[in-house]
């Protein structure tokens, strides 16, 4: 995958929520496995609760034969209980955007890079990491408003990248 400066930051697609990603969309793009971020992608920051629609979406993906694994920058004590609760393997403290966590996930999932995509909510960790590793990036809008100042700053810095994504014909997938 050739990267321009912008391409390093750009998602392949933007979705309103993880639940807007369908098995048909994945099949149509040759994706057989998803690497999943946790905070503000599957649940709120620091939460161990799984929203009902996300639980149903995970079940739908399992039924469709989509492999899934969590790759998070958070620590083991945060990620392991959540991953265990939802029945997924995980890589914690993955140091995204470093590709190491993606490499570990790919090996465990047994797929090629072309068959794998990351679902996450942040450009500077998730998009950059996916693009550095050479896998598709399915960006989701954050589930909840960010309360930490550093994440709010990153969201502000993401705006020009998203504006360019839409200006180049990118669209928002899913209900608004």
Residue 176 maps to a domain = no
Q: How is residue 102 annotated by DSSP? A: H
Single pTM value for the model: 0.92
Residue 26 maps to a domain = yes
Task: Note the pLDDT tens digit of each residue in 105-135.
Answer: 999 999 999 999 999 999 999 999 999 999 9
Residue 173 maps to a domain = no
Task: Note the pLDDT tens digit of each residue in 60-86.
Answer: 999 999 999 999 999 999 999 999 999
Residue 115 belongs to what domain range?
5-167
Let me know how many helices (H) and strands (E) the chain has, helices first: 7, 7
Whether 21 shows a pLDDT value over 50: the answer reads yes
Tokens at residue 112, please?
């090629």
Tokens at residue 131, please?
């693009």
Q: Given this model, what pLDDT does residue 24 score?
A: 97
Give me the number of domains the chain comprises: 1
Segment holding 33, helix H or strand E:
strand 33-36
């Amino acid at each position: 995958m050739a990267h321009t400066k912008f391409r390093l930051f750009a998602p392949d697609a933007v979705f309103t929520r993880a639940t807007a990603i369908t098995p048909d969309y994945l099949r149509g793009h040759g994706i057989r496995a998803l690497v999943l971020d946790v905070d503000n992608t599957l649940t709120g920051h620091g939460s161990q609760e799984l929203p009902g629609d996300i639980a149903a979406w995970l079940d739908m993906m399992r039924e469709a034969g989509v492999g899934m694994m969590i790759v998070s920058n958070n620590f083991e004590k945060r990620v392991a209980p959540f991953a265990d609760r939802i029945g997924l393997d995980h890589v914690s403290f993955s140091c995204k955007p470093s590709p190491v966590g993606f490499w570990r996930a790919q090996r465990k999932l047994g797929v090629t890079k072309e068959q794998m995509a990351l679902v996450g909510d942040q450009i500077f960790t998730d998009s950059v990491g996916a693009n550095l590793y050479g896998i598709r990036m399915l960006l989701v809008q954050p589930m909840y408003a960010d309360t930490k100042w550093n994440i709010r700053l990153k969201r502000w810095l993401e705006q020009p990248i998203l504006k360019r994504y839409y200006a180049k014909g990118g669209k928002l997938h899913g209900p608004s």
